[in-house]
Amino acid sequence: MFSITNPHIADYIRETVQQPPWLQMIEERARAESVPVVPVETGQFLAFLVSLHRPRRILEIGTAVGYSTLWMAQAAPPACHIVTIEQDEARGAQALANFAQGKMADKIHLIVDDARNVLPYLDGQTFDLLFMDAAKGQYQNFLAQSLPLLNDRALIISDNVLFHGTFFREKLPRRSRTMVRRLQEYIDWIHQHPQLQTVLLPLGDGLAVSLYTSR
Ligand SMILES: C[S@@+](CC[C@H](N)C(=O)[O-])C[C@H]1O[C@@H](n2cnc3c(N)ncnc32)[C@H](O)[C@@H]1O
């Protein structure tokens, strides 16, 4: 697997993660079917943030087959509710099966559609934690649409912000250039945004963790 840090250190960190066997089975199936899911250490970190922050409601953009959703769900307080959005129908169907397998179906609501269409319809709902892991070039649009839904002191976690370390490659494949430029613009935007306090972490494929202040 790729690594944005020293691969030996990344492997070592990965090996320290204690993952429940049922969740490991879901991860292994996703990887065998080439579904892009968070690395195990990112899942563990999401669970840690959920345990620390104790959100009542979580919004996730980019469910795939629900692996990251389940990392958060199994760490969440009993009354916590998760809304997760995935545009791919087949992945959504597998996610529902995985939520049932993890006995978490009652706390997760999956919406199968493009998040850009869904977010305006969540008006009136509020969230304490947002995890973004969908089209990287759309992060700024997704977050601009999501900010009105966030409670004061909500956490925002954006995945893949260091995207395989591509920022430092002199020659980028043409198909990656726009996405990498948009990710860099997104990183600048969240750092300059007056209502966000952001740190970048070299975990997994790079995470931005932002704290939102509503005033
Ligand atoms: C990296 S995968 C998500 C992995 C998942 N968070 C996990 O770690 O288990 C990204 C997913 O976002 C979905 N996606 C991309 N653009 C989207 C959009 N505009 N609206 C909803 N889903 C989108 C893709 O279909 C894909 O399944």
| 2 occurs within a structural domain | no
Predicted confidence (pLDDT) per residue in 128-152, tens digit: 999 999 999 999 999 999 999 999 9
Q: Which residues, including other chains, have CB under 8 Å from residue 203's CB and lie 6 or more apart?
A: 13, 41, 42, 45
- The reply to whether ligand 1 has any atom less than 6 angstroms from the CB of 133 is yes
- The reply to whether ligand 1 has any atom less than 6 angstroms from the CB of 41 is no
| 93 occurs within a structural domain | yes
Parent domain of 57? 7-212
- The reply to whether ligand 1 has any atom less than 6 angstroms from the CB of 142 is no
| Strand pairing category for 150-159 and 207-212 | antiparallel
- Whether 167 has a pLDDT exceeding 70, the answer reads no
- Whether 215 has a pLDDT exceeding 60, the answer reads yes
**Predicted confidence band at 83 (pLDDT cuts at 50, 70, 90)?**
very high
Percent of the chain residues past pLDDT 90, beyond the cut: 82
* CA 111 to each of CA 21, 66, 152, 167: distance values in angstroms, whole numbers, following the listed order: 27, 12, 24, 33
Q: What are the tokens at 175?
A: 């198909």
Domains in the chain, number: 1
Q: What is the pLDDT of residue 1?
A: 47
pTM confidence score: 0.95
What average pLDDT does range 22-43 have in this prediction?
A: 97
Q: Whose CA is nearest to atom 11 of ligand 1?
A: 62
| 1 occurs within a structural domain | no
What CATH number should be reported for the domain holding residue 147?
3.40.50.150
Residue 154 C-alpha to ligand 1 middle, in angstroms? Answer: 21
Q: What is the pLDDT of residue 175?
A: 74
- The reply to whether ligand 1 has any atom less than 6 angstroms from the CB of 37 is yes
Residue 215 C-alpha to ligand 1 middle, in angstroms? Answer: 30
Whether 2 contacts 204, CB under 8 Å: no
Predicted confidence (pLDDT) per residue in 43-65, tens digit: 999 999 999 999 999 999 999 99
